[in-house]
Amino acid sequence: MPGPDELIHLESITKVYGVGDGAVAALREFSLTVASGESLAVMGPSGSGKSTLMNILGCLDTPTSGSYWFAGQDVSRLNETELAHVRNRRIGFVFQQFQLLPKLSAWRNVELPLLYRNVRDRRSLALQALEQVGLSNRVDHRPSQLSGGQQQRVAIARALVTNPDLILADEPTGNLDTASSRDVLAVLHELNEQGRTIVIITHDPEVAPVAKRTVHVRDGRLVEQVAA
Amino acid sequence: MSLLKTIETGLRSLLGHRLRSVLTTLGILFGVAAVIATVGIGQASSDSVTARITSLGTNLLTISAGSTVSAGVFGGAGSANTLTMSDVQGLQDRQSAPDIAAVAPVSQGRASLILGSANWSTTVSGSTDGWLVTNTRTIGSGTFFNANDVATRTQVIVLGSTTAANLGAGVGDIVLVKQIPFQVIGVLATAGSQGFGNQDDLAVVPITTAQDELFGGGVQRILLSATSASTIGSAYLEANQILLQTHHIADPSQADFSITTQTQVLSTAQAVTQTLTILLASVAAISLLVGGIGVMNIMLVSVTERTSEIGLRKALGATPLDLFRQFVIEAGMLTALGGLLGVATGLAVGYIVPRAANIAVHITPLPVFVAVGVAVVVGLVFGVYPALRAARLAPIEALRAQ
């Protein structure tokens, strides 16, 4: 059972893809806890199982066995609709490819998660979130009119707008140049300073220092924990 | 996601692919328009047949000669010369046929009428003075021939108004029919054309003259007028009885004649036009179905194309139901739009065709509502499968698709 301060509590999570002889275990007996307000970097080479970990942490996928408590709730056995609600209310995603809808303006992109929970004042919430990432002057721009760094900041604003418990960033600087990377990491760092829990999945050693704690994944197992 | 917002999102995505949306809509548009127009044309022809038949008078009965059987070949109704002038006399007997008001034998053929340099080919009927009553016609100018003209085989002719106009003939003129001179003694009042054929293009002569000079002996049909619409039944029985007697037939099933009433003709004609209408409408309905398949096709393309968008929306908290609704509503909007434009096109066809091509179109509300309803149902049904595909996409795989 999770402790009171733990936002994330993974207990012996195993994730197997495929069946029979072709079955591959992407995660084996994986356990991890993340406290509220913590910042964590998950590192590992490709094929290590860190993407699978990200999918399970983000409630995009369910484990084959083991338990996942998120904010005190066992989410490992929820159905698709219940998982959608958890994602919508409690998790903000930042993806490597930004995943902005090209035909929508910046604030319309930020508004998206709010559409799935029937909130009023969506525009003012979206504008607040854009202000937090320093893009108040770009609200009506389309993604194609923004630089990579700006696009990723719009994506961070979208992750923030629902005031989630967790921000889950998957290779957030993977498609950015050094200056933009620094920008984006600074925003994430600042959010953590404000008390937001952040998990960054990355293979880039430059990114890890932004987090207070770094864990390594290899062959679907947790191999070491380094306190920063 | 609220319904309004879903509709807005759908509109946005349809507007994002304008050409594709328009082309998909066209499929439904033509389907709906075709259904409306064909049913309208069918309805109009049914109306015109009904009007034409009822204009002949609902208390009319027609006796046709029986069929010949020669060396086993069935000649068809009217091919035998079983009706004679003595049948006509029998039917005119007020004693045994109190419910028959008028009798008119008809011996008919096509012939050329010549007046000076004018030459006009038309239908010439030999008949008696009962012709006017049984055909519910009136004389426009001059007179109709009387019983005496029939008895004395006078060479007189009564023309329809179109025939008279085309020949330039008036009362008193002499026209040649098969080289035989006939004096025009009357012109019929205009009856108007009722869709098929022209009731004003004809000529009538005494039947005795026609038998002797034009078409030879025999009577093809006998027209009867019952005293009223309510006595058709008894008039039918009286005529049948008289003819069985004069033809010496004991078994009614062996009768060498047949009697039809206008109601029978009417219901047969209506059944025929209805069948035609259904046939036309089914062809149109198939095009509607094809349009629906077009909608499904484009929705499948849309789902495939927007896989990563679907993945993103799922990650952001869209439930499978949200996505299902979004795609079904998009498909529904495409077909609803196509349906409405189809109604407009169908109505436009109903307005233009009668003026441009002289084909009557009678559009009634029912097929309009049915066509639009079917279009929307088609859209929703064909939208369900693509929408299910969208709803079932696994978010991780969808996000990975680029």
CA dist., res. A159 & res. A193, Å (int): 16
Residue B195 and residue B152 share a domain: yes
Residue B282 and residue B232 share a domain: no
B251 DSSP assignment: -
Q: Are B28 and B335 in contact (CB under 8 A)?
A: yes
Residue B329 and residue B205 share a domain: no
| High-pLDDT (> 70) share of chain A, % | 97
Average pLDDT over chain A, rounded to whole?
Answer: 90
Residue B283 and residue B251 share a domain: no
Chain B touched by A88 (CB under 8 Å): yes
Residue B170 lies in a domain: yes
> If we measure between CA atoms, which residue out of B161, B170, B92, B82 comes closest to residue B128?
B92
Q: What is the pLDDT of residue B74?
A: 52
Q: What is the pLDDT of residue A103?
A: 87
CA dist., res. B270 & res. B253, Å (int): 27
Residue B365 lies in a domain: yes
Residue B205 and residue B109 share a domain: yes
**B174: region left, alpha or beta (phi > 0 left; psi from -120 to 50 alpha):** beta
Per CB-CB distance under 8 Å, the chain B contacts of A93 are: 315-316
Q: How many domains does chain B divide into?
A: 2
Considering B215, B233, B255, which residue would you say is the last residue of a domain?
Answer: B255
Residue B60 lies in a domain: no
For chain A, the helix, strand and coil percentages under 3-state DSSP, each to the nearest 5: 35, 30, 35
CA dist., res. B72 & res. B323, Å (int): 73
pLDDT tens track for A43-90: 988 888 888 898 999 999 889 999 999 988 999 888 989 999 999 999
Per CB-CB distance under 8 Å, the chain B contacts of A115 are: 1-2, 5, 9
Residue B75 lies in a domain: no
Q: What is the pLDDT of residue B353?
A: 84
Residue B392 and residue B337 share a domain: yes
The confidence band for A124, taking pLDDT boundaries of 50, 70 and 90, is very high
Residue B68 lies in a domain: no
Cα distances (angstroms) measured from residue A211 to each of A93, A154, A206, B376: 17, 21, 11, 54
Residue A8 has pLDDT above 90, yes or no: yes
Residue B299 lies in a domain: yes
More confident residue, B157 or B249: B157
pTM above 0.90, yes or no: no
pLDDT tens track for B12-42: 888 888 898 999 899 899 989 988 888 888 8
Q: What would the two tokens of residue A54 be?
A: 């990200």
Domain membership of residue B22 as a residue range: 3-52+269-400
Give the residue ranges of DSSP H helices in B306-319. 307-315
Residue B251 and residue B135 share a domain: yes
Residue B195 has pLDDT above 50, yes or no: no
| High-pLDDT (> 90) share of chain B, % | 12
Residue B300 and residue B232 share a domain: no
Residue A212 has pLDDT above 50, yes or no: yes
Q: What is the pLDDT of residue B341?
A: 92
Residue B21 lies in a domain: yes
The confidence band for B193, taking pLDDT boundaries of 50, 70 and 90, is low
CA dihedral sign, ordered A46, A51, A53, A57: positive
Considering B209, B232, B255, which residue would you say is the last residue of a domain?
Answer: B255
Average pLDDT over chain B, rounded to whole?
Answer: 84
* Residue boundaries of the structural domains of chain A: 38-59+87-227
Per CB-CB distance under 8 Å, the chain A contacts of B399 are: 60, 95, 99
Q: What is the pLDDT of residue B67?
A: 59
Chain B touched by A46 (CB under 8 Å): no
Q: What is the pLDDT of residue B89?
A: 83
Residue B223 and residue B117 share a domain: yes
Q: Are B167 and B175 in contact (CB under 8 A)?
A: yes
The confidence band for A198, taking pLDDT boundaries of 50, 70 and 90, is very high
Residue B131 and residue B25 share a domain: no
Interface pTM (ipTM) of the complex?
A: 0.91
Chain A touched by B319 (CB under 8 Å): yes
From first CA to last CA, the distance across chain A in angstroms is 27
Question: Which range has the worst mean pLDDT, A150-164, B211-225, B321-335?
Answer: B211-225
The architecture CATH gives domain A38-59+87-227: 3-Layer(aba) Sandwich (3.40)
Residue B48 and residue B181 share a domain: no
Residue A199 has pLDDT above 90, yes or no: yes
Considering B255, B287, B321, which residue would you say is the last residue of a domain?
Answer: B255
Helical packing angle, A148-160 and A178-193, nearest 10°? 20
Question: Which class for A121: exposed (0-12), middle (13-18), buried (19 or more C-beta within 10 A)?
Answer: exposed
Of residues B309, B313, B399, nearest to A95 (C-beta): B399
Are B318 and A84 in contact (CB < 8 Å)?
Answer: yes
CB atoms within 10 A of CB B243: 21
